[in-house]
Amino acid sequence: MSQENVDLARDALDAVVQGDHDAASRRFHPDALWHNTREFPGPSRCVGPAEIIHFWTALLEPFDARAPRWTIERTAERDGSVALDVHSVAEGNASGIRLDVHWAAVFHMRQGKVGRVDVYGDWARACAAVGLEE
């Protein structure tokens, strides 16, 4: 496993979740694509670091910023693509309702940056997308 690619994927996710435009611009290719599943609210496709950050800002706005947002439970890498198994936990600002979701994404590298992210509903589908068994 290329630890450099895994670290890049982790850091890129952290940058967009934190709304850090500078860090995201250093980690994402200028025309990077973020593809969401139908289950994710918002657009199914975002292009470029600014649009990706805007999506995440809007997605996380209704939740308490003090609560932990996500942890990465597993990683897998193959041929320049990194699968991340993500566990997101948040609490609604107004409702107090707790959100506890597992999801996975595959980060495809291009020219030393993240070129595309494909979000999957679960770890097995993300692994299959990069040609790995769960």
Render pLDDT for 92-133 as a digit per residue (tens, 0 to 9): 888 888 888 899 999 999 999 999 999 998 899 999 988 887
| Annotated domain spans of the chain | 3-129
Intra-chain end-to-end CA distance of the chain, in Å = 15
Q: Report the mean per-residue pLDDT for the chain.
A: 88
Average pLDDT over residues 40-51: 86
Residue 1 confidence (pLDDT) above 60: no
The pTM of this model reads 0.90
- The continuous run of DSSP H or E covering 7 comes out as helix 3-18
Residue 16 confidence (pLDDT) above 90: no
> Are 127 and 133 a contacting pair, CB within 8 Å?
yes
> Are 16 and 56 a contacting pair, CB within 8 Å?
yes
Specify the fold of 3-129: Nuclear Transport Factor 2; Chain: A, (3.10.450)
